[in-house]
Structure formats: structure tokens, C-alpha cells
Structure 1
Amino acid sequence: MSKFMAAPNANANSTSNPNPNNSFEVVQPPNDSISSLSFSPKSNILVATSWDNQVRCWEIQQSGTNLVSQPQAAISHDHPVLCSTWKEDGTTVFSGGCDKQVKMWPLGGQPVTVAVHDASIKEIAWIPEMSLLVTGSLDKTMKYWDVRQPNPVHTQQLPERCYALSVRYPLMVVGTADRNLIVFNLQNPQTEFKRILSPLKYQTRCVAAFPDQQGFLVGSIEGRVGVHHLDEKQNDKNFTFKCHREGTRIYSVNSLNFHPVHHTLTTAGSDGSFTFWDKDSKQRLKEMSRCNQPIPCSTFNNDGSIFAYAVCYDWGKGAEKHNPATAKNYIFLHVPQEAEVKRKPRVNTGGKR
């Protein structure tokens, strides 16, 4: 167990403030909880999926030192939408969810169904190097799709329901129920490369492949993140750390994102906070003030100059704790400062590294 060296903590809990960090607010947010956020790989166009069955799109523009959001378009699914991803050219959005299908939406055009499962689709990713879409479902399968064809190119059986998925070609990591972590080398996509039991004792909530494809992060419902390297010669670099805790209260880690330039990372959790970390120097760079609701999802834009995060109910306490009449849903945009996201030299404490 490793403890990160702490940076100054700005985490005074604002029990009634949805935006204690003075982030820029996205206008016309979803009417129900937000399940995923995805930026275009080519521009500052943001897509959000939500439990109100909608996929919404905004253009984010810089106006002086402000960020301004312009609603662009939206499409509907038949049931709540859980996940989203983009084609690499920034023209097309994919979305999947509880209607057991993925819709391909050419921006400005009409959506078409390009993938189906026998249960809700929890995760999707577009793999540009293969020109394939990969879908992970609660039906315990993962499927690869050539979106020009009606049937999957390949169906991969999973040991349990798919909860999380991350691709950094040729590495793909899939987290399922029962703490299974399945690693694929996408140069041989129909065969598991490695299967391991999560280093964390509780249910997997999110995974993120390293930018250098040498390993991955895994976050759990128990306020903890595991840092795992694939090469067994680097086992001494594997560690876990605690986060998103307040005294004896422990919160889920809902989202893990690597900064696209500096390769530092963020965690976002059900405690309503997001934190910047440097895994290589084992330092917490900056912990932001807590919002008054959970953060279920987050993402960076393509150059790391904007960090988008949702603040809303995350269903962690069940439907009985959710009142749609009074629930508020927010999407905020944070402009990371260099000190928050740039790596710091390792501090030698004289102890074991």
C-alpha cells in the first residue's frame, strides 16, 4: 500500500455548492443523471449521454478567459444511454446503453443502429487502427464491429458482466464483475492476453490504460486505485493508493483520465471531488473542493486544456434516494493550471521507492 505525498488540500466541503471550484457551466444540461462525457479528438465539441435517453452535443468556445458552451444537437435512444465515443476524424459519435444497441451519429445527420447485444451496453470504444467498434455488455460478451456490416466480426465471451473498458492500441483492458481484469493485445484480438484478479478487494468501477501501453489503472467502489504494470519484471512498480475518502466515509472512484500531454492523471468520485495525481512520482498534485453531489464521469479535451466533469446523482444509493423533481444535473469545464497537471520530480524520502 502506497501513500501519495500530499499537495495542499483545498477540500473544504461545500455542502450546498454544486460549483465550489468556480468552473464554467455548460448550458442546457441533461434532464437526468449524466453517464458519460466525450470530447471530439479534433475539436472542442463535447458529447454527454444521460439517463433521460438523450445524447447531447455542445461546441465549447473560448471567449477571453471564459469558456462558453453552445448547444448544437441531440438524438434519442429508447432507454437510458450509458456510454459514448468518437471516430478519430471527429465527425461521428457512437452511443450505447439500456436499449441494448449502439447508434452511430454522423454530426448533422441521422443516427443509425450499428451494434446490438442481449443486455445493456455498458462500454464502447472506437479502435482507429482496426477501423472497428468494440462494445462491452452486461450480457457477458464483448463484440467487435465493422460498422458497415450488420453482424459482429467477432464475439468474445467474458467471465462476467462488462463494467469498464479502456483502449490504447494495441492494449485493451476490460473490467468485469467479480473483479476480473482481462487484458487483450489487439494485434491478436480474439485471444485473451492475460487475465488477472483486481489488486483491489472491491468491485471495479473504472479502468484506464497507460498512455505508453505498459499497464493500466483500476478504480473501485472502495475509494482506491490500483496501478498495475503488465511486465512482471516491473511488479515492484505496482501499488495501490487511497482516495475519495473523508474520515471514515469511503466513496467510489467513478472516473480515471490521463492528461493527453503530461500523462498525469485525474480521479473523480462519488464524494464530489476530482484530484490530479502523478503516479510516477507518487504525488497528489491538487485536490479540488468538493461539489455537493457525486461526479459520475469526466474527460479531457484533445490537448488537455479543458477538463469536463458532471455533477449529479450517480445512483449509488438507489432509486429511493433520487427525486427527479428536485435533482439538478450539471456539466462543468475546468481549465487545468500547469501546476495541477505537470509532472513533478520524485521526492526522495529515503524510504522504499
Structure 2
Amino acid sequence: MTSAVPPAPGRELSSPPSDGISNLRFSNHSDHLLVSSWDKTVRLYDASANVLRGEFLHGGAVLDCCFHDDSSGFSASADHAVRRLVFNAGKEDILGKHDAPVRCVEYSYAAGQVITGSWDKTLKCWDPRGASGQDRTLVGTYPQPERVYSLSLVGNRLVVATAGRHVNIYDLRNMSQPEQRRESSLKYQTRCVRCYPNGTGYALSSVEGRVAMEFFDLSEASQAKKYAFKCHRKSEAGRDIVYPVNAIAFHPIYGTFATGGCDGFVNVWDGNNKKRLYQYSKYPTSIAALSFSRDGRLLAVGSSYTFEEGDKPHEPDAIFVRSVNEIEVKPKPKVYPNPPA
């Protein structure tokens, strides 16, 4: 664990959302940042220039967003709609609808499809190239055991985490049934799931201040490598105070990952060596979302109270963009002791 003094929280973006930040994502092609919010908007920023490039107003809280490319993106809303956003034209159209709030949206470059997960206990796949209009672009609907809380993609693999601690793993080339059905190895409600960039597994976080490291390969050797660890907790007056871990973001170059908790801290971890590499200075309130830029040079942090302690006065919602130093995210080489002479 490093003893360096943590740097300042980063540059705060102007024109932040006026209510809770539900997610934020960097583009795979630029330093553009897409931000969804409970204030019913999706905002597009140029994170490097600190400029708001566009804003879309929906009919309900926006619970997730993702890029298609630098000209368009998608959003998931509490008004049950899945929308396509055309940035340059400032236009949007409804791709389709669920029967309850849409919690998650992902775009699969491998399948060329938009994937959405809803509190109606279904997963839906959409072809965004089709004509606009409700359900015209629907490829398939796949029942889930409970409400969908988090999705993550790597290549053709899709991981779906739901209420009730269920985890379904799909191959996008054959969605007829899950490739694997699992139960979270954590005891409490899942908050976030994110696949490893190398495609070998996924990290899962929960409300109990823990993260589980899991592997897709069901062989005994691979399953022996899985583990869980405690994070985002502190001891006060002899009592362990535990904070939900809301966000996980993998570094695109080094495969290390950041976690964000309701304690207002962002930690960076080396999962392979089971070490914390860095802890940034405390942010004003809970960390609701995290995203590394495509080259890993920037980290966007959504500092936004997530109502884990009910309705109470809290710091304003803010988006910080920080420059990432290699020392914060690069795994440290293992040092082996010299054998005795």
C-alpha cells in the first residue's frame, strides 16, 4: 500500500446534473463523457475541455446510459423507455419499452445490439439499425429470476446481476438460455458487476462493503482462484461501519480496477496480487459512478449522495475528472526473496 499523499480530487465539471448521478461513461473513441441522472437528463460533456456539449430531457429519471459511437448513444429510463440519442442533431427516438423502469443499458460491439435490463425481470436485445418505433427493433426478450440491477459485457459474454443475488452468464451468440446460472458469493444485495478486460471473469460488489472476484472457467483450478475481500469500511468506537460499494471500473491498460463507495472514497486495486494500490482523497459525498477513459489517462468520478441513509441534507452532486498517474494504477512487480546461500 502506498504512503504517498493522495492528490486533489480532480477538476470539477461545470453544469452538473441537478439531482443524483446514476451513471457516467467515457466514449471508446474520445474524451467525451455521457452522464445519466435522476433529474431526467442525459448530458454529454467534453471532459478534457470541460464543456457541456448536449443535454437530453426524458420523461422520467434516467438510470443508465452508454455510447454507441461518438455521434450517438442510448439511455435507460424510469419511464420504461429505451432511447437512442443522436448527439449532433440533439434528437432522440424511442427504441422500445419495458414494463417497468429500465435499470441498465449496454451496447455490444460484438453483436451490434443494444442490451437492456429492467425491473420488470427481463433482459431485452435490440437492433438499433431498424426503423424507429416501439418494439420494431426488438431482437428478443429473456426472462430473469428477479429485477435486473447491473449488466456487463466482454466480447460475446454478458453477465446479468439481479435482485436475490442471482447472476446469469450468457453467450450473445446463443441467448436461448444462460450459459451459466450462479448465485453471488456475497451474502447481501448486489450493487455492481463488471467484467475483467481480459475476458476471464468478473468483479461483483455489494451493499455490505465487499467485492468478489469470480472466473468464468468452471474447472477446479480456475474456481480455486476466486476470492472476496472487504473494502469501504471503517472502525469507530469498536464498531465496524460498512458502506455499499456502488461502482467498479477497470483500467483499460493494466486491468487493475477502481471501486467507489458510500464512504466517499475511491480505491484502486490490483486484483491479481490482492493489494490496494491507492486511495484518493475523500470526495464530498457517496461515489455513485466511475469510468476510466479509453486510454486510462482520465478517471471520471460521480460524487452523488445515493440515499443510503434516507433523505437528509447532503453535498451537491458533482462530476470530477482526474488525471491518472501510472503509480496509482500500475501493478507493482512481485519481489521474491533471495534464496539462502
Paired residue for 1:287?
279
C-alpha separation in 2, matches of 1:175 and 1:347? 37
Letter of the aligned partner of 1:43 in structure 2? S
Paired residue for 1:153?
139
Paired residue for 1:261?
253
* Residue pairs, 1:223-238, within 5 angstroms: 223-233=209-219, 234-238=222-226
Q: Secondary structure at the match of 1:340?
A: helix
Q: Secondary structure at the match of 2:29?
A: coil
Paired residue for 2:62?
81
Paired residue for 2:3?
8
* Residue pairs, 1:13-32, within 5 angstroms: 21-32=8-19
Q: Which string of whole-angstrom CA distances, capped at 9 and with x for unpartnered residues, describes residues 183-229 of structure 1?
A: 11122123200011101000000001111211111000000000011
Q: Which string of whole-angstrom CA distances, capped at 9 and with x for unpartnered residues, describes residues 164-192 of structure 1?
A: 10001211111000000111112212320
Paired residue for 1:17?
none
Q: Which string of whole-angstrom CA distances, capped at 9 and with x for unpartnered residues, describes residues 19-58 of structure 1?
A: x834111001011111110111111111111111011111
Letter of the aligned partner of 2:145 in structure 1? P
Contact kept, 8 Å, 2:285 with 2:315, in 1: the verdict is no
Gaps in structure 1 of 5+ consecutive residues:
1-5, 12-19, 62-67
Does 2:78 align with 1:91?
no
Letter of the aligned partner of 1:244 in structure 2? H
Paired residue for 1:162?
148
Higher relative contact order (CA 8 A, sep 6+): 1
RMSD over aligned Cα atoms: 1.7
Deviation larger for 225-234 or 135-144: 225-234
C-alpha separation in 1, matches of 2:309 and 2:96? 31
Letter of the aligned partner of 2:42 in structure 1? V
Paired residue for 1:3?
none
Paired residue for 1:15?
none
C-alpha separation in 2, matches of 1:235 and 1:146? 35
Does 2:21 align with 1:34?
yes
Letter of the aligned partner of 2:252 in structure 1? P
C-alpha separation in 2, matches of 1:229 and 1:345? 23
Q: How far is the alpha carbon of 1:345 from its aligned partner?
A: 2.1
Gaps in structure 2 of 5+ consecutive residues:
none
* Residue pairs, 1:101-112, within 5 angstroms: 101-109=81-89, 110-112=91-93
C-alpha change, 1:290 and 1:10, in structure 2 (3 Å) is: farther
C-alpha change, 1:254 and 1:115, in structure 2 (3 Å) is: same
C-alpha separation in 2, matches of 1:9 and 1:161? 42
Letter of the aligned partner of 2:266 in structure 1? F
Paired residue for 2:39?
52
Q: Secondary structure at the match of 1:183?
A: strand
Does 2:200 align with 1:205?
no
Picking from 266, 270, 278, the partner of 2:262 is 270
Q: Secondary structure at the match of 2:179?
A: strand
Does 2:308 align with 1:316?
yes
C-alpha change, 1:198 and 1:22, in structure 2 (3 Å) is: closer
C-alpha separation in 1, matches of 2:70 and 2:303? 25
Paired residue for 2:229?
241
Deviation larger for 339-348 or 238-247: 339-348
Letter of the aligned partner of 1:105 in structure 2? L
Contact kept, 8 Å, 1:280 with 1:346, in 2: the verdict is no
Does 2:170 align with 1:184?
yes
| TM value normalised by structure 1 | 0.89
Q: Secondary structure at the match of 1:339?
A: helix
Q: How far is the alpha carbon of 1:232 from its aligned partner?
A: 2.5
Instruction: Count how many residue pairs are aligned between Structure 1 and Structure 2.
Output: 326
Picking from 95, 104, 111, the partner of 1:123 is 104
Sequence identity of aligned pairs in percent? 34
C-alpha separation in 1, matches of 2:296 and 2:171? 27
Q: How far is the alpha carbon of 1:106 from its aligned partner?
A: 1.2
Does 2:320 align with 1:339?
no
